Amino acid sequence: MSEDKANNPAEQIKPYGDSSKSKKEEVAQMFDNISGNYDQLNRMISFGADVKWRIKVLKMVSDAKPKSILDIATGTGDLAILFAQTKAEKIVGLDISVGMLDVGRDKIKRLNLDHRIEMIVGDSENLPFEDESFDVVTVSFGIRNFEHLEIGLAEIKRVLSKNGQLIVLETSVPDKFPFKQGYNLHTKVVLPTIGKLFSKDKRAYSYLSESANAFPHGQKLCDIFDKVGFRKADFYKQTMGVATIYQVFK
């Protein structure tokens, strides 16, 4: 096993385990499959807490007073839509899933924000932007789906402006009783069961649970940020540690 995969065992977990496809291809397929009811299931699975977490990210981004924002793994555009509340002149949402972007574009159009937010298909490991193009980059519940985490982080650092910041919202595992036990029950039993009942893709929500449990969090993820060359890495646990917000600087 390579050192990178040892640091991030989630890189070895794929939605469908098809040896003929890369993790990247499978992740795109999975999100295309579940894009139609992703927002509703997301609210249900997190009991609405994900909305509060995103509002905290919005506050951190607003405090930075960015002129340009890139939201990677934007999905259906929830964060990108929130960023319309900032004074940013340029807001771009990027995702590998065409299906998720189509849902996001419909939402943005209904909100009359299509003149403010651009949604594009793109790969986090090969971003279609010049060096130092954005003041802030965000990733919400998507960084654990990167096929090669350190390559994706290096690309983010490349497109960030000098002293720009990366803000990541990602799932994490609580380390205290009884929250750790409750989290394990929720992710290993409740989440896959909800996925099987309400999603046409029976495997997707099992993958999301497995990748969440395997992905490095807290100081371990901050150590990876440091290794890639970011600075001032810090993290803030949310809701007893079931999610974490990370803030790092170029």
Q: What does the pLDDT look like over 67-93, one tens digit per residue? A: 999 999 999 999 999 999 999 999 999
Within a domain: 193: no
Q: How many helices (H) and strands (E) does the chain have?
A: 11, 7
pLDDT at 3 over 70: no
Within a domain: 184: no
User: What distance in Å separates the CA atoms of residue 81 and residue 77, rounded to the nearest whole number?
Assistant: 6
User: What distance in Å separates the CA atoms of residue 57 and residue 50, rounded to the nearest whole number?
Assistant: 11
pLDDT at 149 over 50: yes
The CA-to-CA distance between both ends of the chain, in Å, stands at 29
Q: Are 104 and 79 within 8 A, CB to CB?
A: no
Within a domain: 66: yes
Q: Which domain holds residue 38?
A: 3-173+214-249
Pairing of strands 160-171, 243-249: antiparallel
Within a domain: 46: yes
Q: What percent of the chain has pLDDT over 90?
A: 68
Candidates 25, 5, 6, 119; CA nearest to 72 is 119
Within a domain: 154: yes
Q: Are 57 and 242 within 8 A, CB to CB?
A: no
pLDDT digits (tens, 9 = 90+) for 193-238: 777 777 778 788 888 888 888 999 999 999 999 999 999 999 999 9
For residue 23 the two structure tokens come to 């993790």
Within a domain: 181: no
The burial of 89, by beta-carbon neighbours within 10 Å (0-12 exposed, 13-18 middle, 19 or more buried), is given as: exposed
User: What distance in Å separates the CA atoms of residue 188 and residue 144, rounded to the nearest whole number?
Assistant: 17
Cα three-residue angle 70-75-79, rounded to 5 degrees = 50
pLDDT at 9 over 80: no
Within a domain: 199: no
CATH number for the domain that contains residue 23: 3.40.50.150
User: Which residue has tokens 């990677």?
Assistant: 72
Positive or negative: CA dihedral 150, 167, 26, 8? positive
Count the domains in the chain: 1
Within a domain: 241: yes
- Phi and psi based region of residue 71 (left: phi greater than 0; alpha: psi -120 to 50; beta: remaining): beta
- So what's the pLDDT on residue 1? 41
For residue 87 the two structure tokens come to 């004074």
Q: Are 56 and 34 within 8 A, CB to CB?
A: no
